[in-house]
Amino acid sequence: MPPQEDPLLDIASAYDRTADKWRASRPDALYPSLARLLDVALATVPPGAHVLDVGCGAAVPLTRALVARGYRTTGLDFSREQLTIARREVPSATYVFGDMRSVTSPALGSPFDFVVAWDSVFHVPRRDHATVFARFASWLVPGGIILLSLGGSAGEFTSEMLGETFSHSGFEPAESLRLLERAGFEVVHSEIDDPQSRGHFSIIATIPSRNG
């Protein structure tokens, strides 16, 4: 059988080509639903904790918001051009170029107290979601917390943005929750925070501590 095509290679190239336009299109402030969920997820994560922004892009607004709250922040992205902008926009964060499916823990500097993967996993082919969730779990300390967003419906599709085509992939919410729990997470909150189009599914989950 021929190897399966990897759409992430095309997506990374698209984010490279649109890096300047992407930064120009980003708001400087978190939009309300993300700000609300971030407040909930970080309620027990003290300033100075080690946090990871998966798919940080140009670092605005999310990486910037984490740094502003006093967190020791690492951004991970597969677009070199986006990271070039991120280093300029939020120089106090640490940045790692890599694919969330394969980047090593030593390269990231894990473990982390908090991981956020906002609007990034839905670009990963769903055949790899179980692997990605297991990797997220391995990057967190016991008791660590994750905030992530996924597509809210099953299937694979493309969308147009900034003159480029981007692919998306996901499961029905119940299946995504099952995969997270199988990876070792305890889901504490989930919601469809935007029902438009194919839906936008947000989750807060923890890695149970060894003591309870």
Domain that holds residue 151: 7-206
Answer yes or no: is 120 within a domain.
Answer: yes
Answer yes or no: is 2 within a domain.
Answer: no
Q: Which of 18-32, 45-59, 115-129, 198-212 has the lowest mean pLDDT?
A: 198-212
Answer yes or no: is 211 within a domain.
Answer: no
Residue 3 has pLDDT above 60, yes or no: no
Residue 45 has pLDDT above 60, yes or no: yes
Q: What CATH number does the domain containing 13 carry?
A: 3.40.50.150
Answer yes or no: is 101 within a domain.
Answer: yes
- CA 51, distance to chain mean position in Å, is 12
Answer yes or no: is 94 within a domain.
Answer: yes
Answer yes or no: is 40 within a domain.
Answer: yes
At 207, the pLDDT band (50, 70, 90 cuts) reads: very high
Number of structural domains found in the chain: 1
Answer yes or no: is 23 within a domain.
Answer: yes
Average model confidence (pLDDT) across the chain: 93
At 2, the pLDDT band (50, 70, 90 cuts) reads: very low
Answer yes or no: is 58 within a domain.
Answer: yes
At 5, the pLDDT band (50, 70, 90 cuts) reads: confident
- SS3 of the chain: CCCCCCHHHHHHHHHHHCHHHHHHHCCCCCCHHHHHHHHHHCCCCCCCCEEEEECCCCCCCHHHHHHHCCCEEEEEECCHHHHHHHHHHCCCCEEEECCCCCCCHHHHCCCEEEEEECCCHHHCCHHHHHHHHHHHHHHEEEEEEEEEEEECCCEEEEEEECCEEEEEEECCHHHHHHHHHHCCCEEEEEEEEECCCCCEEEEEEECCCCCC
Q: What are the tokens at 129?
A: 């979601």
